[in-house]
Amino acid sequence: MRVKVSRKAHFNAAHRLYRPDWSFDKNEAIFGKCNNPKFHGHNYDLIVSVTGEIDPGTGYVMDMKVLKDLIKNEVEETMDHKNLNLDVPEFEELNPTAENIAVVIWNRLRPHIKSDNDLEVVLYETPRNFVTYSG
C-alpha cells in the first residue's frame, strides 16, 4: 500500500526573469514586470510530498521531522530572503521561473529521499499560480 505524506513550507525570495542574450525590449515583451532590473519578490508556498510504502516498524512513509529538516536545510536556508539570481548558484545561468525553481528544489531534495519513494514538489508563486514537478 503506497501512501503520500506532505509537508508545507514557506520562503520569501526576489528574482528577475530575463535572458542576457535577449534585448531589453524582447525581455520586456516576454517577461513584463517580472523583467524589472531591480528585481521583484514573492512569498512562495511549497508543498513537498513523498509517496511510498508504510514502514511496518514505524508506521511512517517518511518521518515528518526528517522531511521538515530536509526542507529547512536544502530550501529555506538557501533561498529564504535571498535574491535567487544572485545568491543561489543554480540560477547563475538558469532563469528563476517558478518552473525552474520547482525543479531545482526537487533536485536538491531527491538525493535525500529513499530511491523507492516518489517525490513531488508543488510551488506556489502566488495563491493562484503554482507549478508541480515530480521528476
125 carries an active-site annotation: yes
Catalytic choice (15, 34, 42, 74): 34
Residue 14 pairs in a beta bridge with: 41, 83
Catalytic choice (28, 40, 81, 112): 81
Question: Which residues are CB-contacts of 106 (< 8 A; sequence separation ≥ 6)?
Answer: 119, 121, 133, 134, 135
Residue type, 131: V
Helix (H, G, I), strand (E, B) or coil at 43: strand
Catalytic choice (15, 42, 74, 125): 125
15 carries an active-site annotation: no
34 carries an active-site annotation: yes
d(CA 71, CA 7): 9
Long-range Cβ contacts of 126-130 (<8 Å, 24+ apart): 126/42, 129/98, 130/45, 130/98
Supply the residues annotated as catalytic.
34, 81, 125
